[in-house]
Structures are given as C-alpha cells and as structure tokens.
Amino acid sequence: MRGVVDPVPVHLMGATDRAGARRRYWRARRLARGRRGVVAVVGTLLSLLVFFALFGIFITQYVPLWMTDNESQFTSQAAGSFAQFKQGVDLQYTLNGPPTFGTSFTISSGGVPLFAQPTEGTLVFLPSTCPNGFYTSSTAPSPAALGQPVTPSYCVFENLTLSNGPPAQGVPTGIFFSQHVASGVLEMSLPNRYYTPQTFYFENDAVIQSQGGSQQLMLLPPPLNVTSAGGNTSVTASFLALYGNASTVIGQGSQQVYSHLRFAQTVTSRGVTAPNQGPLFNMTFEIGTQYPCAWQQYLRPMMAASGVPFWSNGSAAPHTSYFNWTISLTKLAAETIPVSASACYSASGTTTVLTLRLTNVNFATVFYAAAQLDLGIGGT
C-alpha cells in the first residue's frame, strides 16, 4: 500500500537500545569513579588535618611539659651533686676522710627524641678570682689593710682573724692568728629553656643557688656557728681554700669532680671559761662574694639565735660579747647587711665584702684546710 511506512526491522531496534544502554552504563561508571575519587581526596585531607592538629598539640603542649620535667630533674640532680661534693670535702678535712673524693655531676638534662635537644650545663672551676693578690706587711698602705685583697671589688676571698690564736710555747694566751685566701669557686650554670634557669655556686665552704640577680638562696651553709651560754661565747668556723687548674666543661652526660685533700688542721683559741675574768679575744670573719643576699639569709638568723647582742657603736659592757656587720673594707661603723634586691647582685661582676666582727670571745675552733680540685677522669 502506498503511503504506509514500513516498520523498523526488529534487529535494528535492538541494536539501538544496546548502544544507548552501553553509553548509559559507562557514564554511570565514570560518575561512580568520580564520586569515589572525591571521597578519597576528602578523606585524605581530613586525615592530614587530624594528624597536624594532634602533632601541633604534641609540639606546643606535650614537648614543653616533657622538657620542663627533664630540666626540673636536671636542677635537682645538680643540687644533689653539690650537696654530695660539699659533704665529701667536709668529711675530708674534719674526719681525715679519704684523701681523694670523687663526685659525679650530671651536666645535661634529658631530651625529647627528634623534637628537643638536651639542655647542656656549664661546669666551671676558678681557683682564684683575686687580681694582684693580697696586701703584705711590705705593701700594705696601712696596718688595717694587711691581709686584704689589693682589688677587693673583683675578689672572691675569705679572711679570718683571731686576736688571740693558738697557744704558743711559753705564751699561754696564744698569739695573733690571721689567714686570708682567694677561696676558689666551683660554679655550674643551667641555662634552662623551659624551667627556671639556675646557677649553683660553691664558695667559702657554702653552696649558693641563684635564680637571677635578686633570687638567691643559701642552699647549704658553711660550718660557721656562734653560741653564747652562761656568759661564755663559742665560735666554730671553717677556712677552706680550693686550688688547681682553671677548668670549664660543657657537654652532655656526666662529669667527675675530684677533691684531693692537701692539708688539714684544727686551730683553737681559748680565752677564759668563767665570765668577767681574764683576757678574752676578738674574731673577724670576712668574705668577698657575688651573692651577699644569700649570705645574709644565713648570717642574720644565725646571729639572732646566738644570744650575742648587736653593738651599734654605743657603750659596751666590759667582758660582754658583741657583734656588728660591715659591708665595706673602708668602713668600721656597724651597718645593715644588704637586703634590697638591687644590692643582691652586680651585673658588672663586682663582689660585696661582708664582715662579721665578734668581741670578747671565750673559745673558737677553726677547721683550716686546702683541697685541690680536678675536673675529669684521672685527676690526681
């Protein structure tokens, strides 16, 4: 029949449907792969964000806490080493202990692996800090300067004088006794980055801890003691000289410090045992130090508990013990030991001279000794 379109063959219709189905299939696969790719990228980014957040918390919070604890332990170890060192030296000269005593000093803190290096301390021994030495009988500009350092402003020293020294043959009351020395210092600096920086200082048989110019502590005092009972005044003191080669150690791990006792003797001086009778004697204890506030923390309470009254340049009762302070070699009047923060430390490195004078003393015992210090294994 004309005008009638023949229908599409069945096999051609099936081919068209299959091609469209294939196109739809591959299109769907591409869309599925795209969705999976976006999900993978987003997941990776979220994982990185979580990682960096945790890493940042670790760096900013956990590492400082860890290092603070490490440096706190480092400070405690340094304090313990100085205590052990002082104990060993004191046993050497008071009890004739071992001629050589070694103390281990930890000179670095622990670290945080891969994130924080250990904090390294500096251990320094200076056998003498007194330029030009001391005045002698031929160089002293006046009798009062005899035995004083020529340049006291930069001198860490100790001076001990007894107007009536050890008994001499045929002289029951004894003779004048005076000793002076640039006492030598053992110092350890801890430049802590997270914990408070510290400095430990061994001078004149005492251990001082400093946290800055105005923060000073007498961690371990010297064996200086004054007591007054029953009208009799007794004094116990030490006179310790340290010498050897100037040394500095910086690094990690630990360092041995050896003290070799070279000589030790006990010096005694006696007045009378009954009050208001016979000759008594005077005693002067003088030091040059960079840490006057640490010393006054010990000296002031010690003298307050001694029972010896303070003499303020007024009238003095005969045969009665008095004491006073001075903070200068040129002043003989009584003064107050510096207590203000500005007087605790001098940034220029100058020292303060502290003098404790005692009058009408009945009995004194002085441990007089010298030790050589060596830093490192094999010190002799």
Does any domain span residue 12?
no
pTM of the model: 0.77
Does any domain span residue 350?
yes
The pLDDT, as a whole number, for residue 22 is 66
Does any domain span residue 49?
no
The pLDDT, as a whole number, for residue 202 is 95
Sign of CA dihedral 42, 47, 51, 53: positive
Does any domain span residue 87?
yes
- Walk along the chain (380 residues) in steps of 10 and give the mean pLDDT of each run: 52 58 63 58 74 69 83 93 94 87 92 83 89 79 74 83 64 66 91 91 93 82 88 88 90 91 86 57 84 84 84 57 54 47 69 82 88 75
Does any domain span residue 39?
no
The pLDDT, as a whole number, for residue 175 is 63
Domain count, the chain: 1
- Give the domain extent around 172: 62-375
Does any domain span residue 14?
no
| Distance from C-alpha of 268 to C-alpha of 165, rounded to nearest angstrom | 7
Residue pair 308/180 in contact by the 8 Å Cβ criterion: no
Does any domain span residue 37?
no
The token pair at 232 is 């009799």
Does any domain span residue 224?
yes
The token pair at 100 is 């050589």
| Distance from C-alpha of 367 to C-alpha of 266, rounded to nearest angstrom | 5
- Stated as kind and residue range, the H or E segment containing 284 is strand 281-289
| Distance from C-alpha of 23 to C-alpha of 214, rounded to nearest angstrom | 85
